Every structure is written in structure tokens, then in C-alpha cells.
Amino acid sequence: MADRPNPLSAFVAPVRTLFVQDWAAGVLLILIAVAAMAAANSPLGHAYHALFHDPLAWTPIAKLSNLHLWINDGLMAVFFFVVGLEVKREMIEGQLATAEQRRLPLLAAIAGMATPAAIYLLVAGSEPELQRGWAIPAATDIAFAMGVVGLLGQRVPPALRLFLLTVAIVDDIGAVLIIALFYSSGLDLAWLIGAVVLLGMLIALNRARVTRLWPFLLVALLLWFCVLHSGVHATIAGVAAALTIPMVGKDDDTMLERVEHVLAPWSSYLIVPLFGFANAGVNLAGIGLAGVLAPLPLAIGAGLVLGKQLGIFAAIAIANAIGFAPKPAGSSWPAIWGVSILCGIGFTMSLFISELAFPRSQLLVEEAKIGILLGSLISAVLGFVVLRLVTQPRDPAESASA
């Protein structure tokens, strides 16, 4: 007797197919940003704000007194943990494993962080309070940028896709260092020492070649708790813990890859969208046109739209000209320019840094969000249009061989 078809499979199959596409996570973030803006500017605006910012009736950790803090300091630690896993994998056996592979992405990422910061400071002026936001336009959103590239199908050369991905990964490393060095305050020595001891325990577990995952996860959770109370931002614990997860295992199935395989979809399709929904909503009625044209959103927008493409494209051109590192194989200069523009999409990490940069001014946080959303939107649309105009569809067989 033939098996009866499962009626649920007719729904599940296309959904599963959707979420393995390059563009799915990026498109989801776009929809989430639109939904957050709609909620914040609708009759539900007060409820939207209260949901994330009103004190919780009960919380097991007093320092995390509302849902917004649980998302930004708690769930986002998992996001940074996944970033750390990805960085370690790329550094050991991926596209950042050798000095030759690291040269161009590293140079482009540094230039692509320094130039937006310089433009931000130039536009924002000398006001000390605004200067704290210099790092907001520094990082590229991997999911958003790769989502736009995915919408272009086979037009973008594989080497250029890979370049965008590696630059975004190096950007994330830079953003983590910036958060640790410039957005940590009021350090508590006792908690910090506890965090260092726990990090040492994770390193010892790695050196001892422990093959069970639960000791790593248990100590990592304790590490996060200590870092949360230390004055260093709690998400740094996620990256630090990830770097201690072993990349050894049977039949090339490493612990790191197993953990990344399990957590990456949750990070991309639940944690980051939830973060985006909790942070992207801006009540425009409370800001008005004057707020949109204020120095802060203009500085962030200029840093993302102009600074990113100028810094990255110039770095590639100079490195190629002097023989330091060749440009991505099979890529025209107009296509490289298009991808450089896409690097101006700074959604997730930029929103995250804006919350750290202006902890005492909700108005500045709201203005920063406007600059981030507009700058990211302009970079996404402009980059898509440029790449659509300057590239041609490639033969799928050619893409597979590449």
C-alpha cells in the first residue's frame, strides 16, 4: 500500500526551501524593519514601546529589567557567539586562513571602517556628545548585504560574492573590538577577574580536547553572566566563548561546525529579526523633518553611503595597482564599485552600536536609527541598481564550476 502523502509537507517544503536561499535572511530583515517602523508610527506605537521597554513583572537577572535588555544583552550574545564561530572557522580553514587570502579583505575592511568614521566626524562636527557615535557607520550587515546579492541571482561573480562575505566578517571582528574598547564603562574588577578565570577554563577545556559540548556551554553561560556585570558589554562573552570551541572531530565533523549548523538558522531567522523589530521602530512624529535633517542622521547616512564605498573601492584599487593584492577574479571595476556600495548596509551592527553610543539620550538613539535606516536603504537600492546594470547573467554550469 502506497504511503499517503503528508498534507503538511505541501506547506513545509516550500518554506524550508525559502529559508536556505541567499537572499532570505536579508529580505526578512527588510520586512522586519518595515514592520517595526509601521508599528512605532501606528496607534499601536505606545504598546510597541511598552512591550520592549516597560519593566518586567519578574526577571531572574535584575540587570536585565525589560525585554529590550534581554534581547540586546542576552539573545544578541548568541548572535555574537555565532559570529565568533564563523570567524574562527574562516581563520582556520576558510577564506581567511592564509596571509594571501587575508590581505585584500583586511585592507578593505579597515579602510571601509575608517573612512565612514572620518566622514561621520566631519559631518557631525565637534559636539562631544555626537562624537561618541563615530563607529555607528563602521560595520556591514552580512545578512542584509548578501540578501541583496542573492536577489541578483547569478549576475555577481563568485569571487566578488566571497569578497563581500569576508569583508563583512572582518567588519564584524572590528566592530566587536570597537565595542570592547570604546563602549565599555564602569568596569567592575571582581566580575572582570571572574570572567577572565572562566575564559581560562574554556581554553583549558579546549586544550584538554574535551569532546562533550555541555561543559563548554555551561562555562560560556557563566562567562556571559560575569561579563554582563563587569562593565564590558555582555555580547563580547559570546565571541570569546566561540573562539574556544574546538575545531576537531571525527570524520571532519567538528564540534564547532555542529554548533554553528544548529545555531546559525536560529540566529539569522529569529534572534536578528527579533533584535531588528525591537530596535528599528522610530516614532517619526516625535522627530519631524528637522530631526531627519539633524547632524546625527546626516553624519551616519553619509558615512554609510559615501564612506563605505569610497574607503573599500579605493583600498581595492590601490592594492591592485601596487601589487599588494589582486582584485577579485572575474570582476569588473563597475561591479566592484556596486559591491562596495552594498557594504554601506549597516543595519544590525549599526543599530546595536547606536544603543551603546547614546545610552542617556533616547532622542539621539532615535535620530541615529533614522540615519541607519536611510543610509542602509540607499546603499541597498543603489548597490542593487548598479550591479543590475553593469553585470550580465552567467551560465549556471559556469557558476557551478566556479
Residue-wise pLDDT tens digits, 16-33 = 444 445 568 888 888 999
User: Is 11 domain-assigned?
Assistant: no
Structural domain containing residue 97: 68-184+233-393
- Higher-pLDDT residue of 288 and 92 is 92
C-alpha dist (Å) from residue 152 to 145, 190, 275, 390, 391: 11, 51, 26, 12, 9
- Map grid coordinates 575592511 to a residue: 109
Q: Taking the CA atoms of the chain, what radius of gyration do you get in angstroms?
A: 22
**Among 106, 250, 104, 103, which residue's Cα sits nearest to residue 172?**
106
Instruction: Give the model's pLDDT for residue 146.
Output: 85
User: Is 140 domain-assigned?
Assistant: yes
The answer to whether the beta carbons of residues 331 and 152 sit under 8 Å apart is no
The whole-number average pLDDT for the span 50-75 is 96
Instruction: Give the model's pLDDT for residue 284.
Output: 81
Q: CA-to-CA distance for 293 and 268, rounded, in angstroms?
A: 32
CB atoms within 10 A of CB 293: 10
User: Is 30 domain-assigned?
Assistant: no
Confidence band, pLDDT 50/70/90 cuts, at residue 283: confident
Instruction: Give the model's pLDDT for residue 320.
Output: 97
The domain total for the chain is: 1
Q: What is the CATH number of the domain that holds 112?
A: 1.20.1530.10
**Alpha-carbon torsion, ordered 112, 118, 119, 121, to 10 deg:** 140
User: Is 113 domain-assigned?
Assistant: yes
User: Is 349 domain-assigned?
Assistant: yes
User: Is 6 domain-assigned?
Assistant: no
User: Is 3 domain-assigned?
Assistant: no
Instruction: Give the model's pLDDT for residue 29.
Output: 87
Share of the chain above pLDDT 90, in %: 65
User: Is 261 domain-assigned?
Assistant: yes
Confidence band, pLDDT 50/70/90 cuts, at residue 185: confident
